Amino acid sequence: MTPTPFPLPAFDDNYIWLLPAHGGRGAVVVDPGDAAPVLAAADAGGWRPQAVLLTHHHGDHIGGVAALRARWPDLHVVAPDDRRIPVASQRVGDGDRVEAAGHAFDVLAVPGHTVSHIAFHGHGLLFCGDTLFSLGCGRLFEGTPAQMLASLDRLAALPGDTLVCCGHEYTQSNAAFARAVDPDNPALARRSEEVTTLRNDSLPTLPVTLGDERACNPFLRVDAPAVRAAVAAWSGDGDLSRVGAFAALRRWKDGFRA
């Protein structure tokens, strides 16, 4: 049975993920960029974090760890092998397996947003940081289009019932871009309507199944004829390679204004 992850809002649009342990009052915390939501949830729920999982080095994903360690000095912190994350007590890479609060996760290297970005997959859950978003993907701050496309292909190959737990509430703005790219996609239209309803009620749009993302997310649909045609029309190049089409799609999104 898939355990239930809880998104804790932080900053303007971040999510810190809380995954309760099997029994007891422990939990796994993923990407705590801010300690305050975690401390508030711990005080309200009477639980304590047993482990922290970090997907990449950006401050809005790791900035709260020091304050959490100040309260729980023995807190175990799992992070990618990147010296820009000084708070790590265990560094992991592709193919490693992590045990945390009774849960086991496989570590997947997913470079693109950053060169050392990792994701954690297990128990039907995918904690993917800023690599894959609902209806979008992360910006390429350090990696190449080829790296990011390979990372997204890898994530897209996971089981369709996997729950995607990403690092930001970007779904509504991503939906506007996705519909500009793929306006005749009925699955996307349904997801977009669902997202609007959820956000109007101030509810999170996450987690979402990977199967839904494969049907709706243009960055997972680079090979779909409708997406390729839209990219060709936008770029003025009808002979783009697969990586070239992805790179053009990402550039289009970078400059898109709804």
The enclosing H or E element of 61 equals helix 59-62
Sign, CA dihedral 150-153-158-163, equals positive
Which of these is catalytic: 31, 34, 57, 58? Answer: 58
Which of these is catalytic: 103, 121, 123, 168? Answer: 168
Catalytic residue flag (residue 103): no
86 and 26 in contact (C-beta within 8 Å)?
no
Which of these is catalytic: 82, 130, 182, 212? Answer: 130
Catalytic residue flag (residue 76): no
2 and 209 in contact (C-beta within 8 Å)?
no
The CA R_g of the chain, rounded to the nearest whole Å, is 18
Catalytic residue flag (residue 58): yes
139 backbone dihedrals φ, ψ, rounded to 5°: -70, 155
d(CA 222, CA 144): 16
Which of these is catalytic: 31, 34, 61, 117? Answer: 61
Catalytic residue flag (residue 60): yes
Which of these is catalytic: 31, 34, 60, 182? Answer: 60
Which of these is catalytic: 56, 57, 121, 123? Answer: 56
159 backbone dihedrals φ, ψ, rounded to 5°: -55, 145
243 backbone dihedrals φ, ψ, rounded to 5°: -65, -40
Catalytic residue flag (residue 57): no
Give start and end residues of each alpha helix (H) in 116-224: 145-156, 171-181, 186-200, 210-216
Coil/strand/helix, residue 6:
strand
Catalytic residue flag (residue 123): no
Specify the length of the chain in residues. 258
d(CA 55, CA 30): 8
Catalytic residue flag (residue 168): yes
Which of these is catalytic: 113, 117, 121, 123? Answer: 113
Catalytic center residues: 56, 58, 60-61, 113, 130, 168
